[in-house]
Amino acid sequence: MDDEILGLVIRAKRGDKNAFGKLYNLYFKKIYRYVYYSIYGHELSEDITQNTFLKAWKSLPSFTVEKGTFQAYIFMIARNLVTDYQRKRKEISLEVIEDTTFSEEDLAEQISREQNKDMVQNVLSGLNGFEKQIVILRFFEELSFSEIARVIGKKEGALRVQIHRILKKLAERLKDYGN
Amino acid sequence: METNKYIEKLKKEYLKLSPPKTLVEQGWTELEKSLAPQEKFLSLFVFRRGVLFAVIVLFLSFGILFGSLVQAAQGAFPGEPLYPIKRLSEEVIFLTPDKEKVERRADEIIELTKKGGNKDILGKSIRGYKKTILETKKEILNSGKGKKELDESLNLQEKRFREVIKQQSSEEVREAIEIAREGRNGRDDIDGDRKEEDKKEDRETK
């Protein structure tokens, strides 16, 4: 773990909200993206993102560096919240749970967001929930194998084999999409 | 290689997704209001399991050490370093004054006399012996039981004191005999009338 981040984590564990605020600013966009591409809903993604950090703060006293990085810790919490949500809603692969509460946002920004989203969404739609998570964590958010193993709750060795297989599948999806 | 290119392109598109303005501008401000203060005391122990383990080991060690010390102190006599611990432990062992406490004081007097103990310490022991008898009698009066056992015990103690007197003369032990007798007879002072045979015995031993 980066020394600066470690320093922030130690201070946050002692109750320093400013330090935790800095950690929030470092990771909230990553968490938002990860959650969004797992459940496809802006308002829900916002809620889950905030809840992720709320839970992270609450259980920070029990976090230790021996267990892994802070990044893995925060992504693990996000993943658990996403899983809880999906369990309640029953995951629907392509059907998007859209919300249109962008009233305050610039229209151009909205359109741009939707266009980008479509491409990623379409490629990821050919993968199952687990595979999608691996692609996001490994290839987009660039978590290390050990971090992903911590987030997913699997052994690193087995994960490397699975990632290799998922990469192959992704390559095929990308080729199809390209064509 | 081509796959990597595709992934890079996809990643670029993925990273373009940004949270809504509300989250970007107010996310932390809103979240901060909901953050409860950290439980600092608990975190010390939850975070550092080593500390918790060390504290438990320390308490157990202290408990074992203290227990051993108390055990060793039971054989201590007035004037010895562990004697205060013995007296302190009696406060816990004997919740109320008990004939056994009286017997312990009597044992101490006998041992000290045999060892040729310091007169001051022996004097203190005699006073302690008397005090313990008085406290025990008071407890018996309140509870209404134990008088017979105490009297039997005091009788035995008197006999033991007399045995000691036969071997070595001691004013303090003579005093202890009086106290034991008065305790049996229901008197609280040692300056009362003494029986003829005891006066005679005193004259013979002198």
The full DSSP string for A44-103 is HHHHHHHHHHHHHHHTGGG--GGG--HHHHHHHHHHHHHHHHHHHH---SS--------T
Does residue B202 contact residue B174 with C-beta atoms inside 8 Å? yes
Spatial contact of B172 and B126, defined as CB atoms under 8 Å apart: yes
pTM score: 0.55
Indicate whether this complex's ipTM tops 0.85.
no
Interface contact B166, partner A, CB < 8 A: no
**Across the interface, which of A54, A123, A174 has its CB nearest the CB of B31?**
A54
What residues in A contact B37, CB-CB < 8 Å? 15
Round to whole Å and give the CA distance between B10 and B7: 5
* Residues 25-44 of chain B whose Cβ lies under 8 A from any Cβ of chain A: 27-28, 30-32, 34-40, 42-43
Q: Taking the C-alpha atoms of B65, B77, B180 and B206 in order, what is their torsion angle to the nearest 10 degrees? A: 170
Q: How far is CA A75 from CA A34, A78, A81, A90, B179, in A?
A: 8, 5, 10, 21, 82
If contacts are CB pairs under 8 Å, which of residues 99-118 in chain A contact chain B?
102, 104-105, 112-113, 116-117
The domains of chain A, with CATH numbers, are 3-178 (1.10.1740.10)
For residue B34, the chain A residues in CB contact (below 8 A) are 54
The alpha helices in B20-74, defined as continuous H runs, are 21-34, 40-47, 49-73
Domain ranges of chain B: 95-205
* Closest alpha carbon to B24 in A7, A34, A73, A31: A31
pLDDT of residue B193: 45
Residue of A nearest to B47 (CA): A62
Residues of A whose CB is below 8 A from B39: 61
Assess contact for B18 and A113: CB atoms under 8 A. Answer: yes
Q: pLDDT, tens digit, for every residue of B71-120?
A: 888 888 888 888 888 888 888 887 777 888 899 999 999 888 888 878 88
Nearest CA in chain B to A172: B3
A125/B134 Cα distance (integer angstroms):
93
Cβ-based contacts under 8 A for chains A and B:
109
Q: Is the CB of residue A73 less than 8 Å away from at least one CB of chain B?
A: no
Task: Round to whole Å and give the CA distance between A177 and A127.
Answer: 13
| Statement: residue A70 has pLDDT above 90 | yes
Q: Do B23 and A46 touch (CB under 8 A)?
A: yes
Q: Is the Cβ pair B6, A178 closer than 8 Å? A: yes
Tell me what pLDDT residue B143 has: 85
| Dihedral Cα A163, A38, A78, A21, nearest 10 deg | 110
Q: Which of B19, B36, B46 sits opposite A29 (nearest CB)?
A: B19
Q: How far is residue A11's CA from residue A7's CA, in Å, rounded to a whole number?
A: 6
Q: State how far the Cα of B78 lies from the Cα of A145, in Å rounded to an integer.
A: 71
pLDDT of residue B50: 73
The Cα B135–Cα B66 span in angstroms is 28
- pLDDT at residue A96 in the model: 47
Q: Give A62's contacts (C-beta < 8 A, 6+ positions apart).
A: B43, B46, B47
User: Which residues touch B146 (CB under 8 Å, ≥6 apart)?
Assistant: B99, B136, B139, B140
A33–chain B Cβ distance below 8 A for any pair: yes
Structure confidence by residue, pLDDT tens digits, B154-193: 999 999 999 888 888 888 888 889 889 888 886 544 444 4
CA distance A144 to chain B (A): 16
Q: Burial letters for B142-167: b for 16+ Cβ neighbours within 10 Å, e otherwise?
A: eeeebbeebbebbeebbebbbebbee
Q: Which chain A residues have a beta carbon less than 8 Å from that of B15?
A: 33, 140
Question: For B10, which of A49, A123, A175 is closest by C-beta distance?
Answer: A123
B1 Cβ under 8 Å from any chain A Cβ: no
How confident is the prediction for chain A on average, in pLDDT? Answer: 84
- Interval A2-37: pLDDT, tens: 788 999 999 999 889 999 999 999 999 999 999 999
Whole-number Cα distances in Å, A168 to A54, A172, B200: 37, 6, 116
pLDDT at B199: 56
Number of other CB atoms surrounding residue A14 within 10 Å: 15
Q: Taking CB atoms and an 8 Å cutoff, what residues of chain B touch A21?
A: 28, 32
SS3 letters across B137-197: HHHHHHHCCCHHHHHHHHHHHHHHHHHHHHHCCCHHHHHHHHHHHHHHHCCCCCCCCCCHH
Residues B125 and B39: their CA atoms lie apart, in Å, by 54
CB-side neighbour CA atoms (13 Å) of B144:
0
**Chain-chain contact of B7 with A139 (C-beta, under 8 angstroms):** yes
pLDDT tens for each residue of A156-171? 898 899 988 888 888 8
Tokens of A49: 């993102």
Q: What angle do CA A13, A16, A19 make, to 5 degrees?
A: 90
